[in-house]
Structure 1
């Protein structure tokens, strides 16, 4: 990244984080820590966000599931399929509710059987290799490439071996904002900002052109 562009890119990043610097885990009410329950909640959120549905609906559905006690793989498995469907419906996650309710049950069982309910065991298996981690995540029913991308993007502040990661959607946001799209260029522009927060803000910019306009205005007036 050339010296003449750096100040502009930095102002844009600062404006972006000021405008919409919140992870999706935070929005869903997850107090993300390196412990089994919040990591599982993030896995559920990643599954919901990966569907072709508005992010706000996915977040609302996650909150509804957690509100009904489905915060651990054991509680998810013990809930009936209908209880999962009903909770998704409360969050207006209706287009994919029946299929997703099945995937949530099957995925929770796999997490219990494979990692004894603790995704830190998956992290240990990956042994610092982000690609292996994402491959492991994709073993979970309902978690495809997009879901694995989301999980890694949101967990990177806890698991630094995954940094930096903005994912495909984050790169779209960077392009919309006129930011560098190379990993090195983005990392330099975002230096000092939390990686997960910055990546989520890029995704929000990719999904909402009004955010792009507001960020541009903020950057001009900083």
Structure 2
């Protein structure tokens, strides 16, 4: 009886923690960047751009602001990005506050757009159909293992064959929150459609101890 009650208490605690996390920090990074993610070429390309920006050693809010600035400048699809000048890309990144890596990133964005057009006619769904998607994502300039993880964490909502995708950073957040740290156990805590939100929230908790403390305190009060 005691063990059963203990397991029930743990399940209730985990459920309360996840509710607090999703309520407060369950926005995906794509949502923050104004991307309405669907399995169509433009949103998928914008997510690739956002993944590149987020994977640099720069503040998350700066990366998100830079993505919005690029899209506001009309550089939200591969064709327009490829046709833009290097200076236009640098200026858009600067408008978003992304100045530390702006020149290198502007080159990577141009080269990546060209590659996407040449290899997949601007449509990342062609990459989805191939094997080794995470490795193939890393063929795009500026996209390394971290960038591929970011992309697939968010894309699992529209590419469900990759779900549950909870990478090391997300599991670090789970550990900080006192949640299970296995992908399978974490995935059982939410519906499949909420997996991208869970992943984003866990990453935020991994990156900011104050967020983790706030979520745990809120859960304890519920």
Aligned pair count reads 217
Match of 1:214 in 2: 214
The structural deviation recorded for 1:212 is 1.0
Q: Partner of 2:130 in structure 1? A: 125
1:56 to 61, 64, 68: 61
**Quick check: 1:65–1:84 contact (8 Å CA) kept in 2?**
yes
Partner of 1:101: 106
Question: Is the CA contact 1:6–1:189 (under 8 Å) kept in the aligned structure 2?
Answer: no
User: For residue 33 of structure 2, what is the aligned residue in structure 1?
Assistant: 28
The answer (yes or no) to whether the contact 2:171–2:183 under 8 Å persists in 1 is no
- Say if 2:73 is the partner of 1:80: no
Residues 24 and 200, structure 1, Cα contact 8 Å, conserved in 2: yes
In 2, Cα distance between equivalents of 1:123 and 1:192? 19
1:144 aligns with 2:144: yes
Counterparts of 1:44 and 1:57 in 2: how far apart (Å)?
14
Unaligned runs of 5+ in 1: 127-131
Structure 1 residues 192 and 143, CA, compared in 2 at 3 Å: closer, same or farther?
Answer: closer
Q: Matched residues in 2 for 1:92 and 1:71: separation?
A: 18
Q: Which has the larger radius of gyration?
A: 2
Matched, 1:46 2:51: yes
Distance 1:187 1:24 in 2: 19
Q: 1:32 to 1:58 in 2, by over 3 A?
A: same
Tell me the alpha carbon deviations over residues 150-177 of structure 1, each in whole angstroms, 9 at most, x when there is no partner.
0000000101001001212111111110
Tell me whether 148-157 or 186-195 shows the greater mean CA deviation.
186-195
| TM-score after normalising by structure 1 | 0.94
Counterpart in the other structure of 2:187: 187
Change (3 A) 1:114 1:2: farther
Query: For the aligned residues, what is the CA RMSD?
Result: 1.4
Task: Tell me, yes or no, if the aligned pair for 2:86 and 2:106 is still in contact at 8 Å.
Answer: yes
**Distance across 2 between alignment mates of 1:91 and 1:17:** 27
Q: CA deviation at 1:192?
A: 6.4
**1:29-78: CA deviation from partner (whole Å, max 9, x where unpaired):** 00111110010000000000000111100000000000000011110011
Q: Against the structure 1 CA distance between its residues 193 and 71, is the aligned structure 2 distance closer, same or farther, given a 3 Å change threshold?
A: closer
Note the residue ranges of structure 2 that are not aligned, 5 or more in a row. Answer: 1-5
Distance 1:33 1:83, change over 3 A: same
Instruction: For residue 13 of structure 1, report the CA deviation from its aligned partner.
Output: 0.7
Large movers: runs of 4+ above 3 Å:
1-4
1:129 aligned partner: none
